[in-house]
Structure 1
Amino acid sequence: MSRGALYMICSALGFSVMSVLVKVASEGGLPTGEIVAARAIVTLVVSYWMVKRADLPLWGNERGKLMFRGLLGFGGLTCYYGSLAHLPLADATTIQQTVPVLTSVLAWWILREHVGWSTAIAIACGLGGVMLIVHPSGAGVEPIGLGFAIGAVVCSSFAYVTVRQLSRTENALVIVFYFPLVAMPLSIPWAVVDWVTPSPTEWLLLVAIGLATQIGQVFLTLGLTLERAGRATSLGYVQVVFAMIWQTVLFDQPPELASIGGAALIVFGTLAVASAKAARPSSPDTSTPPRA
C-alpha cells in the first residue's frame, strides 16, 4: 500500500470518529452552528501550533488560492449540513458519495490528471456499496435539500482539486490552517444565533470533535499531495465502512445483510486502489510532516 493511500484511509478513520462525536453532540441538544464554530476554533488553534512547530511560513505563498480553498471547504460543510436538514439521511449520504466522480472529472479537466482503471473500479464499487448500505428513499426530493446536496458536492470537489493544485507550492499544514481560518469568522455568527451553553462534558466533546477533524484534515491533505485527486478521494468510501463498525459497536445497531455486501464492495474497491501503483508526489517537500 502506498503512503498516500494509507494517509487517505487514516483520514477516513478520523472523519468517521468525528461523525460519531457530532452525532452524540447533536442528539445531546447542541445546535449545528455551535458544533461547526467549535470545530473551527479548535482546529484553528491546533493548526496554528502545528505550523509554528514545523517552523513554516504561516501565510503560505498563494494566499488568495489558500483563502479560496478555505471558503470552498466551509461552503461544502455548510451545504452538507443543510442537505441533512432537508433530505432523508440516506439520500443526503448517497448524493455526497458522488464527490469522487466529480473530483475525477475536474482533476482531468483542470489538472490533466489521468483516471486509471483502479480509480474507476473504486468509484464504481464505492457508489454501488453506498447504494446497498443507505437505501436511498426514491421519494419526492425537496428542491432546497437537493440544492444543498449538489452545492456540497460541487464545493467539496473543487476544494479537493484546489488542494491538489496548492500541494505544488504549499506545505500540507499551511493548507490545513486556512480552512478553519476562513471557517471560524463565518461560523461564529451562526453559533451565536442558536447558542446553547455546553455542560463540562459537552465542552470536552466539542474539543474532541475539533481534534478528530484536525486528524482527518491533515491526513486528507497529505494524501492529496501524494495521490491523484480522483484516486485519493475514491479511497474515502472506506469511511462508510468505519461508520458501520461504530454503528455496531457503539450504538448496538448491527448492519443488515445488504449493508455487509455494500461494505464488501467498498473494501474491494479500496484494495484495488491501494494495491495499484501510486502516483508520483506533486512536490517532494509539500508532504513533509511536522518535525517531532
Structure 2
Amino acid sequence: MIRSLFNSIPLGVRYVLFSAVGFSLMSSLVKLVSVHGIPVMEIIAARCLVSVVISYVDVKRKGISIWGNNKKWLVARGLIGTVSLMCVYYALSTLPLAEATILQYTHPIFTSLLALLFLGEHIRSATAICIALCIIGLSFMVAPDLLSQDHSYLPLKSVFIALLGASGSSIAYVIVRKISNSEDSSVIIFYFPIIALPVSVMLLVISGDFVLPNFQVLIQLLLIGVMTQIGQIGLTKAMQTLDAGVASAYSYIQVVFSVALGWLLFKEIPILTTWIGGSLIMAGALINLLGGRKKPSA
C-alpha cells in the first residue's frame, strides 16, 4: 500500500521531497556546527569541498564535459548561488531553525514571478492557492506572538539577510530552469561548489576566523556537504521536471521537516500555531498536486 501510494506521487514531486529531506538535515547540521564556533565561511568551504568531489565524479561517470554549454549562465548561477548560500548559512547560525527555514522559503513567491516574466511560465490557479495557503501557514509558524502575549525577538539584520538569501535563491532557480533543456543536471550542480569554494576560502583567509574542528565537528562538516549534495540533486531534477513555480511551491514541505528536526535536536517544541501552519502547508501542497493532474479524456 505504501509503495503504491509512493508510486502515485509524480516523479517531480518525489524529487522535491528528496531534496527537502537533504536540505533539512543540512540546515540542522549547519546550526549544530555553528554552536561549536565554526564560522560561516568555514562551513561553506567544507560543504563545497565535499560537493566538488562528488559532483566531479558524477560528471565524469556520465562521460560529459564538466564545463557545459551555457558557461555565462552557469557562472551566473554559481555566483548568485554563492551569495545566497552565505546569507542562508548566516541566518541558520543566528536564528532559530524553524524561523530561519521559513524566511528562506519565501523564495517561491519570487521564483513564480520571475518565471512568469523571464520564462513565460503560467502560474496555475492551484499553484497560486498553494502559495497563498503556504504563506498563511508560515505566518502562523513564524509569528505566534501576533496571537499571544509571548513576544519573540528576531534580529532585524538576520531577518534581512535571510530574505536576501531567499531572493537570491529564486534567481538561481529560474536560471536553472532556463538552461535545464541544454545542460545536464550534474554540470549545473558542479558549477555551484566550483565557484563557492574558492570564494569562501579567500574570505576565510582574509578574515582569519578559521577554527580547527574536533573529530565530531569534522564529521558534521563533511555530512553538511553530503546532505547538500542530496538536496541539490533532488532540487535540480525537480526543476527540470516541473515548472519553476510548481517545484518551489512543493518545496515548502522542508519547513515541516525543519520544525521536526528543531524539536528533536534543539528541544524546540512546536506550539499549536506551528501545527496549524504545518497543516495549511500540507493542504496547499495537496491542492497543488491535485490541480496539476490532467483530467482523463472522455
Alignment TM class, shorter chain as reference = 0.7 to 0.9
Alignment of 1:106-125 (within 5 A): 106-125=114-133
Identify the match of residue 148 of structure 1 among 161, 165, 183: 161
Give a deviation string over 1:149-176, Cα, whole Å, max 9, x none: 4432321111000000110100111100
- 1:157 lines up with 2:156 in the alignment: no
Question: What's the offset of the Cα at 1:29?
Answer: 2.1
- Change over 3 Å in CA distance of 1:89–1:223 after alignment to 2: closer
- Which of these residues, 189, 194, 201, is aligned with residue 188 of structure 1? 201
SS at match of 1:9: helix
Equivalent residue letter for 2:214: S
Q: How many residues align?
A: 279
How far the C-alpha of 1:274 sits from its partner, in A, is 2.7
TM-score by length of 1: 0.87
Moved more, 248-257 or 167-176: 248-257
Q: Residue 242 in 1 paired to residue 261 in 2? A: no
Q: Give the whole-Å Cα distance in 2 for the aligned partners of 1:244 and 1:145.
A: 19
Structure 2: tracts of 5 or more residues without a match: 1-8, 147-151
Residues 7-33 of structure 1: per-residue CA shift (max 9 Å, x gap): 011101100010111111111221211
Q: Is the 8 A contact 2:31 2:97 kept in 1?
A: no
Match of residue 272 from structure 1: 287
CA RMSD of aligned residues (A): 2.4
Aligned partners of 1:244, 1:95: CA distance in 2, in Å? 13
Report the residue type matching 1:244 in the other structure: V
Task: State whether structure 2 residue 60 is matched by structure 1 residue 52.
Answer: yes
TM-score with structure 2 setting the length: 0.86
Trace 1:1-292 onto structure 2 (pairs within 5 A): 1-83=9-91, 93-135=101-143, 145=158, 147-192=160-205, 193-277=208-292
In the alignment, the residues of structure 2 paired with residue 101 and residue 250 of structure 1 have an alpha-carbon distance, to the nearest angstrom, of 30
> How far did residue 179 of structure 1 move?
0.4
Q: 1:121 to 1:83 in 2, by over 3 A?
A: same
Percent of aligned pairs sharing the same letter: 41
User: 2:55 & 2:43 partners in 1: Cα distance?
Assistant: 18
| Distance (whole Å) between structure 2 residues aligned to residue 238 and residue 3 of structure 1 | 16
- Deviation string 1:95-134 (CA, Å, 9 cap, x unpaired) is 4332101110000000000101221122112111111112
**Cα distance change, pair 239–65 in 1 and its aligned pair in 2 (3 A):** same
Q: List gaps (5 residues or longer) in structure 1.
A: 280-292
Farther-moved stretch of structure 1 (149-158 vs 71-80): 149-158
Find the aligned partners of 2:278 and 2:156 in 1 and give their Cα distance.
30
Contact 1:97/1:237 (CA < 8 Å) preserved in 2? yes
- Give secondary structure in 1 for the equivalent of 2:64: coil
> How far did 1:273 drift?
2.0
Residue in structure 2 matched with residue 282 of structure 1 by the alignment: none
Q: What is the rounded CA distance, in whole Å, between the counterparts of 2:51 and 2:66 in structure 1? A: 15
Whether the 8 Å contact between 2:105 and 2:252 is mirrored in structure 1 is yes
Give the Cα separation in 1 of the matches to 2:197 and 2:112.
Answer: 29
